[in-house]
Every structure is written in C-alpha cells, then in structure tokens.
Structure 1
C-alpha cells in the first residue's frame, strides 16, 4: 500500500494576494486556479518548485470563524516544513524577497533550519535535512 498527503489547506484572506506572495516571494508554482460556481469559490493549488506530491490548497476564508484562523492555524506553532536541497540558496533568496525570518539559521543533527513567517503570520520551517534524515 502507498499513501501520501496530496493537499494541505491553508486558510487565506484573499486568493490573489496569497498567490502573489507564494509565487513571487517563495517561488512556488501555481498549479491550478479554477472557479467553482456551485460553491462560489476558487480551487487554488500551489506547489513548491520541483515538488510532485505535496501541494497547498489556498482556501479563502468564507466565515468569521475561518477568518479568525488566518495566520494562526496551529496556535503559533510551526505549521509547515518546507524542505530544500540548498538551504543557503533559498534562505538568501527569501531574505532578498522580503520574507521575514523570526529565528536565524541553526545547524541541528537532523539538518539546517530557520523559521520564517508567511504573509499572514503562520510560522514555517525552511529545512535542509541531513542525508541521513532525508532518506527516512
């Protein structure tokens, strides 16, 4: 048996501002942007460059309860872990693009990591795993 997580929903304030931030600042790829008339919303899927299985569904908040979760989907904990094959390349590019890092790069036995915030305040790890941890 093989299973994988294909999509993770990220609640956003506005589709277009979220697409622009993830594409322009992080270099993500816009996979799909389709209007769903039955639900009066869009199906917006983005992906890190080179990723084949993991993708984000940008879900525009449609209720006050959903709006209250924007930027705080996990109570302030790191929400998503963005793996990279070249930490310093991406770290420097993100900083040049104005991405806010809230914890500086630190080498750990499992890899090099720094924490950044997305445009809504969600915390992310930028992580280059060690070879040993990449294969697990």
Structure 2
C-alpha cells in the first residue's frame, strides 16, 4: 500500500506535466495550420517579463473580468469553428477563461501555463513596452 502511495504521488505531477506539454504542442501545430487560436490571458507586466507564445493573441484576464464590452468585441474576432487554446502563468486563470468561452459556444482547451509551452520547446516572442 505504501509503495502504491509513493508511486501515485510521483506519477500525478508527471502525468499532469506531460498533458500540458502535449496540449501546447497540439495548439502550436493547429494554430500554424490556421485551425486554432492561441490566447494568452496574463497581465501586461507578466508578458513584459516572460514574453508570450509566438502567434498568440492577448487579452488580460482583468479586461475579461471587468471590461465586458472590450471582451465581447474581442470575441467577435474569433472564428467559432476554431479551437481556442488558452494559457496563463500556471493554468488557473486559463481554466476560468475556458469556462467562459465554452458558455459562449466556443471549443476551448486549457494549455496550462506558459511554462508548458516552453517545456514543449515551442517558440516565445519577446514583448517590448
């Protein structure tokens, strides 16, 4: 029983990590084929510090939460036939946005965090200003 517990504690983070990396790779390839949208929902200061996924669109979670009109205008630029892959720093805010997108009829998936994108070896765009 103890061995099972030890193995479980080891496998849970490993499996979670590999899923984020797999979804990031899926998002990158589908976005490159113009079949998906990658969306960064981190705040501006976070993007300045770490860059963002190459090709990603951006709207901060604060605008989604508190500027409904801006969020609705932004959503009108999305094609509902495409999957929207969302990421944040670690995936928590991305999960919130995925739920909002699904309520509006979008197909949406949570990549997790930018770290999953980086761990997958995918390109990052440095952002200035």
**TM-score normalised according to structure 2 size:** 0.27
Higher helix share: 2
RCO (CA 8 Å, sep 6+): is it higher in 1 or 2? Answer: 2
Higher strand share: 1
**TM-score normalised according to structure 1 size:** 0.26
